[in-house]
Amino acid sequence: MQATIDTTLLLRVHAEHEWLQGELLALLDQLEDAASLQGNELQAALAYLEVTWGEELRRAEQTDAAYDRLQRASTTDTTASPLGSQARGYYRWLRNFRRALAARVEPYMGGAALAGLSM
């Protein structure tokens, strides 16, 4: 059984949000409390941030593609699903969450943080 386009977007948004909270947000909290990092831990955390942010850009690209599919389908389908509206709202919220995290990543990565993120 294949998931509908709106369900696919909801699942993508939810998965990206959970990943952001579990991986990126935890790492940023650790970096912002740099006093807790000793020796080479700071360099290792910064290197991990670079890898983690790259993974986020990949995940964001997949979620954005799911949103684009829903938008294209909405222009041809006259029977809009209420689930599609919820998926769009959750997606808009996720984009704002991404922007907030990108602002926190920016000091550690420079312009690279915002460069790959679609706004």
pTM here is: 0.84
DSSP 5-70: HHHHHHHHHHHHHHHIIIIIIHHHHHHHTGGG--TTHHHHHHHHHHHHHHHHHHHHHHHHHHHHHH
| Sequence ranges of the domains in the chain | 5-21+42-74+81-115
Q: Running along the chain, 119 residues long, what does each successive block of 10 average in pLDDT?
A: 80 96 93 82 90 94 94 68 87 96 89 59
